[in-house]
Chain A
Amino acid sequence: MSASPLTNFNRHSLRRRGISRLWQTLPAISIFLLLLPAGLPKHVTTLTEILPPLPLLAIFCWGLMRHERVGYPLVFAAGLIQDALTSMPFGSSALLWVLFRYLVMTQGKDIREQGFVGAWVSFSLLLLAVLAVQWVLMGYYYRFAMPLAPAVMQWLLGTLLYPGMHALLHRTERHFHRRYWHLLKVTG
């Protein structure tokens, strides 16, 4: 016995809505998922001490590809969670990330025109600026000259991780477009 046309329609509509919702929230999901490694305990990984702020990779990549889905409230919320996770002064990551997002948005067109290498260099420079400001801020906050080496390691690691994240997010976006273009065309 075959399903009624109405049931088929509902199923199709539900699937379309689900995929569309996933497509719309993918940048937010990836940003929040990338927050998690920073809070992993040392008996799981000791890398967290030099781990760069991974969500900045996603904010940068999505900021170039689909900046309409990386709004300031999202970046602000992610920054606050990062501050809670890493015990940084509350609001510091939120402020720096919002400014980072602003720079990506205003310079996005120029960065896109320079291709992958240009984007990589731009990300590296922006990350360096964020980490430098953070280093100064933490020194001021705790009245202590913070060690510079871990911040440099963070910058190097962040720069090295960029190509992988760029490829992953670009492929994900392309996959969605190829696989579900007919659904995304309707729902946007």
Chain B
Amino acid sequence: MPGPRRLQRSAPLRAVPARYWGAGRLTLLFAVTASAAVMILSRTNANFENSLRATMTDVLVPVFSVITRPIDAARDMKVWVSDMAALKSENMALKSQVGSLMQWQSIANDLQAENDALRKLIPVVPAGQTSYVAARIVSESGGPYVRTALINGGANEGIKADQAVIGTDGLVGRVVETGSSSARVLLLTDINSRVPVIGEISRERSIASGNNSRDLTLDYVESGSRLQVGERVLTSGDGGIFPPGVPVGVVGTINGNMVTVTPLADWTRMEYVSVAAYEF
């Protein structure tokens, strides 16, 4: 007959064997050597790093896609409830906005007709064509050093490296790696991000650089620049990666040559993005 259960429960833990797989000196040596080799190869051979990262992200993206689905659904439900609560006031605001937009539409139609007529008179090289692919953000890099996101579209959907990624509010970043069904996006705020921009009113050209903080800084701003606080900054199209005219941010502070720009893209609300294939 077995003894009292409580006595047996408090039996000493199983002794750890002196030798076991995976924690010996040889395995340690192997792990350290493999890590160092991967680090060195990644640093010296960009193709090795890209293919390894792309393979791993192709595996990780479906996992995160599944994880974030229910979270997104719950969030959408919350938004739906708050939208319903604000329906009446929002409806009134939209009605008044429609009135003013109708006036703008009429002006725009006139300008379009005038523009078309003038284009017929002067031979103008047509602007570049842009096609879009929509994708969902399934993961963003954690940690304080890198700002990237993974999207659930890749080479199979025609996404290539160096294509611009645009959100509902403005530019998000550019594609830096593509797997077969996933792609990595370097966000505007990353330390390695550089975007040629132009002031919407001042037409001052500069480069918007990320610095891992929430704001961007404008490089190569001339002294006595006509940029103003609150002015929108758009992509200039220089370099041929980003299509021209995509909103990037709003000038936040100007201190001599030091200009900061607050990105228009709202990272906390962004679920879907468009990947723009721009041919200039």
A98 touching B35, Cβ below 8 Å = yes
A87 touching B268, Cβ below 8 Å = no
**Closest A residue, CB atoms, query B71:** A44
B13 touching A177, Cβ below 8 Å = yes
Contacts of B268 in A (CB 8 A): 42-43, 46
Interface residue ranges of B41-82 to A (CB < 8 Å): 41-43, 49, 52-53, 56-57, 60, 63-64, 67-68, 71-72, 75
Interface residue ranges of A20-60 to B (CB < 8 Å): 36-44, 46, 48-51, 53
- Check: B262 CB closer than 8 A to any chain A CB: no
Residue from A85, A102, A105, A146 with most neighbouring chain B CB atoms (10 Å):
A85
Contacts of A43 in B (CB 8 A): 72, 75, 137, 267-271
Residue from B20, B60, B145 with most neighbouring chain A CB atoms (10 Å):
B145
B28 touching A90, Cβ below 8 Å = no
Stretch at the interface among B83-91, B121-129, B146-154, B241-249: B146-154
Q: Which size class do B's interface residues fall under?
A: 35 or more
Question: How many Å lie between the Cα of A68 and that of B40 in the bound state?
Answer: 30
B23 touching A105, Cβ below 8 Å = yes
Stretch at the interface among A2-10, A76-84, A164-172: A76-84
Partner of A87, one of B43, B63, B71, B141: B141
A38 touching B143, Cβ below 8 Å = yes
A72 in contact with B56 given A38-B142, A43-B75, A89-B39 (CB within 8 Å)? no
B139 touching A151, Cβ below 8 Å = no
Do most interface residues of chain A lie in helix, strand or loop, or is the interface mixed?
A: helix
Partner of B39, one of A38, A85, A95, A188: A95
- Check: B14 CB closer than 8 A to any chain A CB: yes
B150 touching A73, Cβ below 8 Å = no
Contacts of A144 in B (CB 8 A): 191
- Check: B111 CB closer than 8 A to any chain A CB: no
Closest Cβ of chain A to B164, distance in Å, is: 19
B68 touching A72, Cβ below 8 Å = no
Contacts of B75 in A (CB 8 A): 43-44
Closest Cβ of chain A to B265, distance in Å, is: 10
Question: How many Å lie between the Cα of A182 and that of B9 in the bound state?
Answer: 8
A70 in contact with B23 given A76-B34, A84-B57 (CB within 8 Å)? yes
**Closest B residue, CB atoms, query A108:** B16
- Check: B130 CB closer than 8 A to any chain A CB: no
A98 touching B8, Cβ below 8 Å = no
- Check: B108 CB closer than 8 A to any chain A CB: no
**Number of A interface residues in the complex (CB < 8 A):** 60
A72 touching B28, Cβ below 8 Å = yes
Residue from A48, A73, A84 with most neighbouring chain B CB atoms (10 Å):
A84
- Check: B31 CB closer than 8 A to any chain A CB: yes
Question: How many Å lie between the Cα of A99 and that of B39 in the bound state?
Answer: 15
Contacts of B11 in A (CB 8 A): 181, 185
Partner of A146, one of B9, B145, B149, B271: B145
Partner of A71, one of B22, B138, B145, B213: B22
Closest Cβ of chain A to B150, distance in Å, is: 7
Contacts of B21 in A (CB 8 A): 71
A48 touching B143, Cβ below 8 Å = yes
Interface residue ranges of B145-197 to A (CB < 8 Å): 145-146, 148-150, 184, 191-192
Residue from A43, A87, A89, A99 with most neighbouring chain B CB atoms (10 Å):
A87
A73 in contact with B27 given A81-B60, A99-B32, A147-B144 (CB within 8 Å)? yes
Q: What are 10 A-B pairs at a CB distance below 8 A?
A: A36-B64, A46-B267, A48-B141, A72-B22, A73-B27, A87-B148, A95-B35, A141-B43, A144-B191, A188-B14
What is the interface of chain B, defined by CB distance below 8 A to chain A? 8-9, 11, 13-14, 16-17, 20-23, 27-28, 30-32, 34-43, 49, 52-53, 56-57, 60, 63-64, 67-68, 71-72, 75, 137-146, 148-150, 184, 191-192, 212-213, 267-271
Additional A-B contacts beyond A72-B22, A85-B60 (16; CB < 8 A) = A38-B143, A40-B142, A41-B139, A42-B270, A43-B137, A43-B267, A43-B271, A46-B267, A68-B20, A84-B52, A86-B141, A90-B49, A95-B32, A95-B35, A142-B192, A146-B191
